[in-house]
Structure 1
Amino acid sequence: MEVLSVIEHESLPVLRSRGRGQKALDHNHADALAKLDRELSRKAWSWGNQQIKFGHYCGVISIGNLSLEILPKIYGLEVDLGSSRAALVRMLSKARRLKLRRAGTAGIALQKYSLLDVFILHFCDQLHAEMMQGMIRTYIERNENLNVLRGRLRIEQQFKQNLAHRERLFCQYDELSDDNVHNQILKHVLKILLKMAIGNRARLQVAELLMRFGPISDIAVDTDLLNSLSFDRSTNRYEPIFDQCKWFLAGLHPDVLAGKESCVSLLFDMNQLFEAYVGAEFRKKAWSEGLRVREQGPQKYFARREDTGQNVFMMKPDIAFLNVSNQVVAIADAKWKLLDEEERKLGISQADLYQMESYATRYRVKEVHLVYPMQQKMTLPVQLQLKGSGTRVNVVPFDITARKTAKLPRQSLGEQN
């Protein structure tokens, strides 16, 4: 399978036919994306005159013989696709969308492997680590004729089946078995991943795991079956793996491509991912300074209807910093947008500024923070003074490529803590 990498907001021409390695799509690929577009609840791309432009969703789309990976546009990595891929995976890990563990996944050469193979190798690494502690085994009810009593004797069945064979006993018993619905689902997903994998290493790791599931029965699996699974103390360590199984199955679109192949879309909304990433980066640092971070809260209403007494217009800040008295001392909102420090308004939308003013008023903080990814034309912090309330808005460029925990915006925290 061919891998074609593009950067978010980049456009690709749609040609009648394309050569291998050409940075374009042909009509078959475009038709598949058009069908997929109707199935997705989000708008991951837009259409132009014989071209397609990708939006703020990053990830991978497998369409027939082409694996299309959309990577984030990150300052300093515009032409380094491998590092951009590594930065995306690091964001997914920090935001807890992927649970990278020990040296296994860390050893995945993110610059070398396609994004789809990175996801598959990560899944295999997690599954292998849990299976080293033992496969999932559950009790299965058995009903059969035996020569010795096991479990309990089924009297009714004994009279029906064994009147002429008194040496037999019809027993009902529970047997600890590997052939259970949990392992049947894992086998089903591994068989899907074997078809999806691009590189030899990914295929080999999936095939090795599949060999261990050889005796497990094959069943049809859908998301409803996955959602019906229950876990106990012996199986709850597998829950993150089954969350990934849901993700892989939800990304399958069997009706997009002609034939038996399924289209696969594994996409992330960069707005939501950046918000979760920034929150995770700030959380550890805040704890060390006597603060705690709360995401999507604390929730407050902005207004109240006088006629009904109902509260309306709920407010949910992306990130709030709380002190030991549980008071909000600062608020930050993360925006995955391109800014320009040379532009008079920096490219900040008026709606975003109104939102920050309302946060400052309702939560009674004097400083708020707008956090953006560091960009080529936005590398240094900028402060804005709101003339009405006197609130100070700190526009903070956030370096996604940094491996160290980001510094907290100190202007307000030091004063109010």
Structure 2
Amino acid sequence: MPVPLPEAPERRALAERILRKTENGPSPAFRWKRGKLYAGEMAGCIQIGDLRINVLPKTDAQDENSDGRFLLSLLRYAGYLKQTHIADTADVETSMRDPLEAVISEVAAEMTQGLLGGIPKRYELRQEDSLSPRGRIDFNLLSRRLPSRVDLPISHAPLSVDNILAQCIKALAIVLQRITRSEKNRQAFAAVLMQLAGVRSIRPTLTMIDGISLSRYETHWTRSLAIARLVLAGQAPDPTHSGKSAAFSILFPLHHLFERSLRRLIAEAMQGSGIAVDHRSRPLHLYEDPATSQGILRLRPDYIFTTDGESTAVADAKWKRATEEGKVNGIEREDLYQIHAYLTRFNVKRAVVFLPIAPWMGAGWRRTINVMGGAQNVTLLGTDIAGLIDHNNATREPARAAFKKDLVELIQPP
């Protein structure tokens, strides 16, 4: 749908800044077409100065708050939120219209709780000059120094609070304190930053964040790092502006939220069926280099179903609106090639493609197509993701019962 922008002379310039701000993401977040800015397959928030644009996944419900509730539920099932944030209060109504504040509130609470035990300490490698030998002496550097120098170039790893994990936490707190519109959150981040005063302020790169390996005593920072990766990837100020014109974004690919939410839903649906589902299976390669025996073109389906330890089916989640017309309901041939490769390489007969349910689909819509010359088939399954994660029990339970019935029918070996 088109993004409503303020009617102003700089309307096109504002749209161009939004496009520049989000052009380096994994997929296009916005596009300009016929004088209007359109949102792509992303959900989240982008802010240019004082203007905040919340991009919500479109639902077919008539309730004006349904899109906000759907995004909050998606974030919760994908692991970015822990609470439902659904209640009859003014604060919750605000969070439905501005889901970013729900994420910020939970991160603020998580940081406050996480620092109760103190700043995370880690052994950090340092290279410095010392009057006493500690750690490892850098003899290569020492050999190039004048004999008159009495200090030694050393490398050592002291236990320190000024480490990459603490630095990333501080960087996230600084960004979220700046962008939150809640006074309560600002105060919480101010207390966090006061506690982290002894930690250097840096701007982490995505490589730094991805390179952090948490110990079993640090796992409570997992979600904060995931949010940091999203926020810090899009918070850089626009180099052509400054001050209040700074831009940032936190955008979630809807395919990512859809696939992660279905992990939990499928696992719950398969309980008691004798069918196991794995989303972290060892990847297989489609080709092999005979010279090095290394695999080429890694294949990793979103979900692999097994019965008695043997793979019986594969499945992929695709956040794409299927069409009522077309030979394969508008599914792209690249996706069908990918599914066929899964069927062949994993040596299974059934594959399922989960698609978000469309208004033209009836309840329990599915379509099965057969592979030419074989016994394999692919089933497109309309998935009522909004109903499956709805906070209302009367809506959620029937949707889950129907989902489980469909899955068992499609996956269960004959």
Note the C-alpha offset of 1:263: 0.9
- 1:358 & 1:139 partners in 2: Cα distance? 44
TM-score, normalised to structure 2, is 0.73
Q: Which of 2, 12, 15 is equivalent to 1:11?
A: 2
Structure 2 SS opposite 1:214: helix
Matches of 2:312 and 2:300 in 1, distance apart?
15
Q: Offset at 1:81?
A: 4.7
Aligned to 1:62: 47
Q: Which residue is equivalent to 1:288?
A: 272
Change (3 A) 1:400 1:292: same
- Structure-to-structure mapping, 1:176-325, within 5 angstroms: 186-198=169-181, 202-211=182-191, 213-214=193-194, 216-217=196-197, 219-224=200-205, 235-256=218-239, 258-261=241-244, 262-295=246-279, 297-303=281-287, 312-324=296-308
Residue 381 of structure 1: how far off its partner (Å): 2.1
Correspondence list, 1:109-148, <5 A:
110-113=92-95, 114-131=98-115, 133-136=116-119, 138=121
Three-state SS of the structure 2 residue aligned to 1:253 is coil
Equivalent residue, structure 1, for 2:75: 92
One-letter amino acid of the counterpart of residue 222, structure 1: R
Deviations 1:133-160 (A, max 9, x none): 53336599xxxxxxxxxxxxx99xxxxx
Contact 1:179 1:217 in 2 (8 A): no
Displacement after TM superposition at 1:14 (Å): 6.3
TM-score normalized by the length of structure 1: 0.72
Q: For 1:305-354, what per-residue CA distance to the aligned partner results, in whole angstroms no more than 9, with x for missing partners?
A: 78997754443222110122x21111112111111346564223334334
| CA displacement at 1:234 relative to structure 2 | 5.1
Structure 1 residues without counterparts, runs of 5 or longer:
1-9, 19-24, 141-153, 156-175
Which position in structure 1 is the counterpart of 2:139? Answer: none
Structure 2, unpaired ranges of 5+? 124-130, 133-158, 390-395
Q: In the alignment, does 2:413 pair up with 1:415?
A: yes
Number of residue pairs matched by the alignment:
361
Counterpart residue type for residue 206 of structure 1? R
Change (3 A) 1:42 1:415: closer
Counterpart-to-counterpart distance in 1, 2:276 and 2:46? 38
Asked if structure 1 preserves the Cα contact closer than 8 Å seen for 2:119 and 2:196, the reply is: no
Equivalent residues of 2:320, 2:355 under 8 A apart: yes
Q: 2:57 matched to 1:72?
A: yes
Please, what is the CA RMSD of the aligned residues?
3.9
Residue 384 of structure 2: aligned partner: 399
1:310–1:91 Cα change, 3 Å:
same
Using the TM superposition, name which of 380-389 and 119-128 deviates more.
380-389
SS in 2 for 1:252: coil
Query: What fraction of aligned residue pairs are identical, expressed as a percent?
Result: 21
Q: Which residue of 2 aligns with 1:5?
A: none
1:369 to 340, 352, 355: 352
Whole-angstrom distance in 2 between the partners of 1:70 and 1:310: 42
| Secondary structure of 2:412 counterpart | helix
Is 1:333–2:313 an aligned residue pair? no
Could you tell me which amino acid in structure 2 is paired with residue 370 of structure 1?
V
Q: C-alpha separation between the residues in 1 aligned to 2:374 and 2:20?
A: 50
Q: Counterpart in 2 of 1:149?
A: none
Larger gyration radius, structure 1 or structure 2:
1
Deviating more after overlay: 222-231 vs 385-394: 222-231
Counterpart CA distance in 2 for 1:226 and 1:315 is 26
Checking the alignment, whether the CA contact within 8 Å between 1:86 and 1:110 is kept in structure 2 is no
- What is the alpha-carbon distance in structure 1 between the residues aligned to residue 280 and residue 322 of structure 2? 24
- Say if 1:208 and 1:32 are closer, same or farther in 2 by CA, change over 3 A: same
Whether contact under 8 Å (2:119, 2:166) holds in the other structure is: yes
Q: 1:51 to 1:290 in 2, by over 3 A?
A: same
